[in-house]
Amino acid sequence: AVFCIPPLSVVGLSEEQAIEQAKNDILVFTSTFNPMKNTISGRQEKTVMKLVVDAETDKVLGASMCGPDAPEIIQGIAVALKCGATKAQLDSTVGIHPSTAEEFCTM
């Protein structure tokens, strides 16, 4: 986590590292998201997020995020990565609404 403005956080493999190290093809999911809490207040503060997934096993290999609350949100994703979470498991998780964290469950 880099505590700058906006904060930046990364866990696991980057897209480039996954291409080099993965035994299978990878899938990359990206999103530019404005959480509902910003929409309601009229703020246009976007967050950029990325998930890197093993195409064959569906295992999440890495995640990155740039935007408000990125360090805290990535900490939760880090636990999921250590437990071997799959993209399907993230998709089946109820997102923390109305924060940006919910987007990791809908990408």
Residues marked as catalytic: 97
Residue 103 and residue 95 in contact, taking contact as beta carbons nearer than 8 Å: yes
The pairs formed by 38-46 with CB atoms below 8 angstroms and a separation of 24 or more are: 40/98, 45/6
The alpha carbon of 6 is separated from its chain's Cα centroid by a whole number of angstroms, namely 15
- Please state whether beta strands 60-66 and 26-33 pair in parallel, antiparallel, or not at all (unpaired): unpaired
Neighbours of 70 (CB within 10 A): 25
